[in-house]
Structure 1
């Protein structure tokens, strides 16, 4: 056992040494280059490793996934578009797509709206940095860790037994004698799982939107106040238009995170009880049911769904930088 471990460690260390040696040789050659070749060589050396890693880590796997999505479970027979037909016509996968759509509509809007409200409220308090740190703290927790925390909140026991689930205990204190098994109760369980995503992402939304609100010029706010704007009117006519681009960026960023959702579902329910979403279904098809073709088709659908959000996010960021 120790011999195998040492052998593997030696191989890994040797690979690192060879990699570093190759880099040193390339950098030495670039430093010695002169004339017309010096600039193209420097650009190639700087961009080459990044492009190579991008090609090996992203482009080739993406092309291979698209290729495999047209084949059967063990990639031995060409099926054409049958895997995609299965994805959009099977009732179980339709439910998965509906759940995913529900997630990307409800969770990002809730997280962004709550983050905006908290940004407005916390900025009026003393020691606002402390409150922001506490609200932002869930961002430091992985989705798996957050799911385990909320698993204790949603834990169910018979009402006659001592409760360890916080939500069930609160309901019993309030007079609800027989609270449901929260994770098994469909479709309520989907919204309860969304609470975890909202809890984690609200801090991110609050911090970014708070910075955007602080960047609003005081002259604009003072002019609006002189014109008679107050309270909600000031918020609707001044604050929202001034932070619209940031608001959209935050919303689309949380949407992208939600669309790739895997950890919460995997930890809380494993996709059972009507909570399955696209990313977890892709994993289940590929690595549990060993149907590479269908898993690849779901991966391609997920990839295509993310692309418009990423593109729109990039456009908004460029517009915001141009306005600055």
Structure 2
């Protein structure tokens, strides 16, 4: 069956999906993302590209693809990734919505696998899946599976357990509308906030496979450490009552470690050292002393050491499968703007 061919529902689950792609000044990477979305198998696909005020309008280049499944919506002025996603939500009419950032890629079975997972959990109205961290050459540096649980509310109130950033979730459109879409007051942590509200409203289904290629690069929005810290404090207040009610708390150590590693990856060494120093002085995480020492080392040494920090694949077969579907997206990728 060709990508985009309408199919009968499986286990009572309709197969009509709208994919919303927010984009801003990343035309080349957007086209790579689009290739992976349009290659989805066994779904009835609609794609909404929301150009959030790019300097160069992406409409002509997307329309040149000649694929009737794709529509471009445009904000004349940039309004932020959350507003762009909400514009896509407002224009969608299908049973299901999925979101993918303009620098990530999907395995061709990503959406179908999530629909199948939903068919196995009849009361679930959203689904997650696994992700691999990749660089611009398609090299894999990390492997992340979701929690295989039905209730993600308490875990998400502690930390973000959904792999793939803003590219990981398939959700019922009526559920997305019911929880209010994306919070336009935030951007870096908007996906975590959105997933928390989905989890508070519905059980989740999980496809325990690696279907997302999550691009890790210094220009990625997640590497804006200061904004992430500000938004983390915002979410701490937003969900404070719910956390207290459930008797859970934010995972401060993991969060600061995550931010510190983002800072190092973006060559914001002073910020990385500050965050690791907090881990030592406030939380007695003595292993951070080693990372501080690495941050003080010459840049070439840091990069040689960091190049070796790659988490192992779960198995050779899993690694081979991921590399196979990533291969078409590994060559000729430009440096992000």
For the aligned pair, the TM-score class normalised by the smaller chain equals under 0.3
Name which structure has the greater RCO, CA cutoff 8 Å, separation 6+.
1
- Structure richer in strand, relative to its length: 2
TM-score of the superposition, structure 2-length normalised?
A: 0.24
- Structure richer in helix, relative to its length: 1
TM-score of the superposition, structure 1-length normalised?
A: 0.25
